[in-house]
Chains A and B, each alone.
Chain A
Amino acid sequence: MSFLSSIAHHIPDWIVFCQALIALLVPILATRIYKTLHSFVGTGKNLDTNKVSQTLESTRAATPFSGDYQTDLQAILSKIGSNSDLHTREFPLTKLNARGTLFCVDGMQNERILNMKMMEFLMFKATGDVLAEPSKAEDLLPFSSLSTISDIDNFNRSVLFGHAGLLIEGMPHGLLIEFPNGANRSIDEPVSEALIRGPRLGFSEVLSENTSMLRRQGFSDQLEMKSYLVGTRLQKDLVIAYMKDIVNPDLLQEVQTRVNNLNSDFLADSGYIEQLIEDNYLSPFQQVQNTERPDRVINALLEGRIAILLDGTPFALIVPVTFSMLLQTPEDYYERWIPGSLLRMLRFGAAFVALMGPALYISLIAFHPGLIPTELAISIIETRQGVPFPALIEVLILEVSIEILREAGIRLPKPIGPAMGIVGGLIIGDAAVQAGIVSPFLVIVVAVTAISSFSIPTYSAGVTLRLLRFVSMMFAAFLGMFGTILFFLLLCSHLTKLKSFGVPYLTPASPFRATDWKDLFFRAPLSLMKRRPAMLKTKDSKRKS
């Protein structure tokens, strides 16, 4: 009896049970909410494949060429003839005693070559036997990029996209003879990922140029590129590139499925694809890396990753991505390993400051004055005595104005940009201190934070950290250092659970893969990196034979 009562003595009161219940309910509720939100949108993974392909089929009811020149011409003109930029030129084929029509869109073809070479050939040289048999025509026409099209709608689309189309009397299909040759930008240095040392080459907007840049990286028959047409209304070319003998087939299958499932009427940029195929749309972290550097892409391919290139954008996508990739630059490998490691660790430190700087300031100033060195505490008190706001408001004022400045800096024309930075950064900062709105110490904190976030090599990762910085500030203002640590733990638990195409986001840190640590915070000498990253489970793990 006394034994039982001694146990009863240790049973906590109802408050403890309530707390335990709340502690149990909070994560359950959070997961519930998360799952519901997720099911509203879904991911690239769980789209219905069949439905999409069916809808695509149904929209393309084919109208074949009839074979009768006049009917076909009328059919084409009735569909696309009202376009003011469509040029049609009807001409006689003298040796053949037939007629033909050339279609092309303004600005997409080099008119002089079209006129001189093709018209000359077709009008005066093309003989009967060239076009006598339709099957032979392809072999005998002197154009390298020649294809036949038997569907009028398809023909129309191609002509409007910029191909030169040819319709010849007596042939039961249309011919496409020249690729589009629209206005293009010259190849430039990658603006968003500049390097001191390393190739200066950056992708351009033309898919064929981009793929050729990848091909020119080296001699290999294992670099495979597969082309897809994406977009239901305005269709675009998309290329998946990978090393055939390295890539994990499951991963490749997954990427192909997700690309096949893309269901959007137009994909303006690779950013659309990124958002449509990513695993978790609620995460603040990107699960696909974007880059305009061919060297970065080819290195990723050799690690066993897959690249997705889209026509019309200089940004290629790399999947899967891990957190450490966002803080690495190709330069880490181009420089010797000691400076490379140093700079990489510096970047990890900078990322931490960019994320936590203002939060630490708030929690130290408003919650833990005992953690500041005494002399510093005195000078902070002296400078903050005139400041009328609590720490959070003070930080928000400066942080928000810095973010506005940064946003303004992007919009401004190039000659004004730097001047604006000086005006904004120096003058506003100094004036705010003089006016007693913020303390000088905070100006240092905000400036260091801003500079740190600039040192992150991937722009989109930098934006993520900027966003999370505000969240961390809220946590810090709410619960001090405890809140800051809580925020960091929440972030870590989210990252641990996050996956990019089946690869855990935080690997090799979690799940722990000791062999991959030599390329995490620290970049081991190249001679030590004998194997590809274990996290990708590649077919061929050895880098050296």
Chain B
Amino acid sequence: MYRSYKMIFLYLLLPFVLTGCWSSKEIEDLAMYTGMALDIGQPAPIEEEFEAKGAEYSKHNKVMTTIQIVPMKTVGTKDKNNTGSTKKPYLNVSGSGDSILEIFRQFSIRLDRPIIGHHLKVIVISSKLLRKQTIEQMSDFVLRDNDIRPSTKVYISQGDAKETLESSEPNEIPSFHITGMYRNQMRTSKVLDFVTLSKLDALMKTKRSFVLQNLVSGGGQIEFSGAGIIKGSSGHWIGNLNQEDAECLAWITNKGKAGAIKAYDWDNQPLTYEIKSIKSKISPHVDEGKISFKVHLAVEGRLIETWNKNNIPSTNYYAEKTSKIIEEKFAKMVQALMNKLQSKYKVDVAGFGNRLAIVYPSVWKQVEDDWDDTFSRSEVNFTYDISVTDFGSITETE
């Protein structure tokens, strides 16, 4: 009797011997990647060397994946005095192949720590790659993978995507830099709302055209420059909107709330208007099968900078006069954007279709399938209500 109890006790104690073995992976023995860049397929320089020595496997080099691993491994005890001011805190690893996961597993035969995707912050896809491959193909793995979070942000790069993951700053992790850049949205609408993986998934499933913020890199620095358009029906990249177009797009879609508009005044001097609030209302109209839209933009803001030697007194007269100038500028910008959307690229990325679907669901059902075409033929009228609320902290009299 006692013997058997003793045995049971021993068995109960056994798990403690296992302690620390079962599926335990210490965090410092793993490599987190926080950034991922997808480029057009070509062997990475290191890979070429490997392949020259015969280290290869069967593949067609359709895509090159670069991941950014942080932090770099430090050796020995940390010296507080020189925290690697010369060393970069990240490591970029590139590989080419036909499957992103297979490329990842190729990394596993090169790295000393297994890579984990929980902390992936940003995916940059080169527009060149998206011309060849569809966005569905490129995002299939990251959407399926269980570790990668749906909150990962997706951007497009104009040049090589892997260059956006390089930085000339000594102590900066580029993927964090890109992730943090959206914070400037409160300052300028040129920074568009970021698109997360989950949102991208929804956009792709509805076959609607959309824009992704465009990244340009140069001299070890990066910039948000406009947006790349993804055509919904094909899933390919078809072109870029420039910075002002992107800004305009944000205002029309009610996503942008800030920005500066520079125009030239009656003396041909720069005059800058700072937007305080902007409200846009898109109202669709269906007249005997003909779809048209009215867009009303109500803008409030202040005169924030002028180079005019002559006074601009703080009176209603001048407020109206400046708002006229701003309105012209506004109209010009909007017209440029609408030209691109309706004539050049023939896509609706500004949510006109959405409004139509809400107001006229039955009409929407008929035109849904080739909405981009229908949109490019629709008439869009803009009305503006621009007010100059104040002239900043300077008060001038006539």
Contacting B at CB under 8 A, from A321-375, are 364-367, 369-372, 374-375
Q: Could you give, for residues 6-34 of chain B, a 1 whenever the CB lies within 8 Å of some chain A CB and a 0 otherwise?
A: 00110000011011101111111010101
Option from B5, B25, B28, B176 in Cβ contact (under 8 Å) with A381: B28
Q: Which residues of B contact A33 (CB under 8 A)?
A: 5, 8-9
Q: Which residues of B contact A392 (CB under 8 A)?
A: 19-20
**Interface centre among A29, A364, A367, by most B CB within 10 Å?**
A367
Contact A374 B77 (CB under 8 A): no
A391 on the interface (CB 8 Å rule)? yes
Contacting B at CB under 8 A, from A381-405, are 381-387, 390-393
B118 on the interface (CB 8 Å rule)? yes
A187 on the interface (CB 8 Å rule)? no
A141 on the interface (CB 8 Å rule)? no
Contact A365 B8 (CB under 8 A): no
A478 on the interface (CB 8 Å rule)? yes
A477 on the interface (CB 8 Å rule)? yes
Contact B77 A436 (CB under 8 A): yes
In Å, the complex CA distance between A478 and B16 comes to 7
Contact B74 A367 (CB under 8 A): no
**Interface centre among B5, B119, B121, by most A CB within 10 Å?**
B119
In Å, the complex CA distance between A66 and B67 comes to 104
B45 on the interface (CB 8 Å rule)? no
**Interface centre among A29, A378, A380, A474, by most B CB within 10 Å?**
A378
A201 on the interface (CB 8 Å rule)? no
A174 on the interface (CB 8 Å rule)? no
Contact A477 B20 (CB under 8 A): yes
Option from A29, A365, A370 in Cβ contact (under 8 Å) with B119: A370
B385 on the interface (CB 8 Å rule)? no
B76 on the interface (CB 8 Å rule)? yes
Given A366-B26, A374-B32, A392-B20, also A382-B71 (CB < 8 A): yes
Closest to A434 in B: B77
Q: Could you give, for residues 72-84 of chain B, a 1 whenever the CB lies within 8 Å of some chain A CB and a 0 otherwise?
A: 0110111000000
Given A370-B147, A392-B20, A480-B23, also A384-B28 (CB < 8 A): yes
Option from A365, A367, A374, A480 in Cβ contact (under 8 Å) with B34: A374
CB distance from A379 to the nearest CB of B (A): 8
In Å, the complex CA distance between A543 and B235 comes to 73
User: Number of A-B pairs whose CB atoms are under 8 Å?
Assistant: 87
CB distance from A327 to the nearest CB of B (A): 30
Closest to B74 in A: A385
Contact B30 A386 (CB under 8 A): no
Contact A369 B19 (CB under 8 A): no
Option from B15, B73, B121 in Cβ contact (under 8 Å) with A374: B121
Contact B32 A366 (CB under 8 A): no
Q: Which residues of A contact B73 (CB under 8 A)?
A: 385
CB distance from B114 to the nearest CB of A (A): 11
Contact B74 A369 (CB under 8 A): no
Contact B119 A374 (CB under 8 A): yes
CB distance from A430 to the nearest CB of B (A): 13
B91 on the interface (CB 8 Å rule)? no
Contact A380 B119 (CB under 8 A): no
Q: Which residues of B contact A378 (CB under 8 A)?
A: 32, 70-71
Q: Which residues of A contact B26 (CB under 8 A)?
A: 365-366, 384, 390-391
In Å, the complex CA distance between A514 and B320 comes to 65
CB distance from A38 to the nearest CB of B (A): 13
In Å, the complex CA distance between A169 and B8 comes to 71
CB distance from A518 to the nearest CB of B (A): 40
B291 on the interface (CB 8 Å rule)? no
Q: Which residues of B contact A391 (CB under 8 A)?
A: 20, 24, 26
Q: Which residues of B contact A367 (CB under 8 A)?
A: 23-25
In Å, the complex CA distance between A17 and B23 comes to 25
CB distance from B277 to the nearest CB of A (A): 33
Option from A29, A365, A474, A479 in Cβ contact (under 8 Å) with B27: A365
Given A478-B15, A478-B18, A479-B22, also A377-B28 (CB < 8 A): no
Main secondary structure of the interface of B (DSSP, over half): loop
In Å, the complex CA distance between A224 and B22 comes to 59
Contact A36 B30 (CB under 8 A): no
CB distance from A337 to the nearest CB of B (A): 41
In Å, the complex CA distance between A414 and B70 comes to 49
Option from B5, B16, B32, B147 in Cβ contact (under 8 Å) with A377: B32
Given A36-B5, A370-B147, A377-B32, also A474-B121 (CB < 8 A): no
Contact B24 A477 (CB under 8 A): yes
Given A369-B116, A478-B18, also A381-B23 (CB < 8 A): no
In Å, the complex CA distance between A434 and B80 comes to 11
In Å, the complex CA distance between A381 and B115 comes to 13
Contact B24 A390 (CB under 8 A): yes
Q: Which residues of B contact A382 (CB under 8 A)?
A: 71, 74, 78
Contact A474 B16 (CB under 8 A): yes
**Interface centre among B8, B27, B71, by most A CB within 10 Å?**
B27
Q: Which residues of A contact B30 (CB under 8 A)?
A: 369
In Å, the complex CA distance between A405 and B18 comes to 29
Q: Which residues of A contact B24 (CB under 8 A)?
A: 366-367, 390-391, 477, 480
CB distance from B181 to the nearest CB of A (A): 16
In Å, the complex CA distance between A502 and B188 comes to 67
CB distance from A214 to the nearest CB of B (A): 46
In Å, the complex CA distance between A387 and B27 comes to 12
Given A369-B32, A382-B71, also A474-B118 (CB < 8 A): no
CB distance from A31 to the nearest CB of B (A): 12
In Å, the complex CA distance between A29 and B8 comes to 9
In Å, the complex CA distance between A384 and B71 comes to 12
Option from A372, A381, A386 in Cβ contact (under 8 Å) with B76: A386
Q: Could you give, for residues 276-310 of chain B, a 1 whenever the CB lies within 8 Å of some chain A CB and a 0 otherwise?
A: 00000000000000000000000000000000000
Option from B20, B22, B23, B116 in Cβ contact (under 8 Å) with A370: B116
CB distance from B363 to the nearest CB of A (A): 46
In Å, the complex CA distance between A36 and B4 comes to 12
Given A370-B119, A370-B147, also A384-B15 (CB < 8 A): no
Closest to A29 in B: B8
CB distance from A479 to the nearest CB of B (A): 6
In Å, the complex CA distance between A310 and B238 comes to 89
Given A29-B8, A33-B5, A478-B22, also A384-B27 (CB < 8 A): yes
**Further 6 A-B residue pairs, CB within 8 A, beyond A375-B176, A391-B26:** A377-B27, A382-B71, A383-B78, A385-B28, A391-B24, A478-B22
Identify 19 residue pairs between A and B in the complex whose beta-carbon atoms are under 8 Å apart, listed by A's number.
A366-B26, A366-B27, A367-B25, A369-B25, A369-B30, A369-B119, A370-B116, A370-B118, A381-B27, A381-B32, A382-B71, A385-B73, A391-B24, A393-B20, A434-B77, A436-B77, A478-B16, A479-B22, A480-B23
Q: Which residues of B contact A (CB under 8 A)?
A: 5, 8-9, 15-16, 18-20, 22-28, 30, 32, 34, 70-71, 73-74, 76-78, 116, 118-119, 121, 147, 176
Of all A-B residue pairs in the complex, the 6 with the closest CB atoms, nearest first, are A370-B118, A384-B28, A369-B27, A366-B24, A374-B119, A477-B19
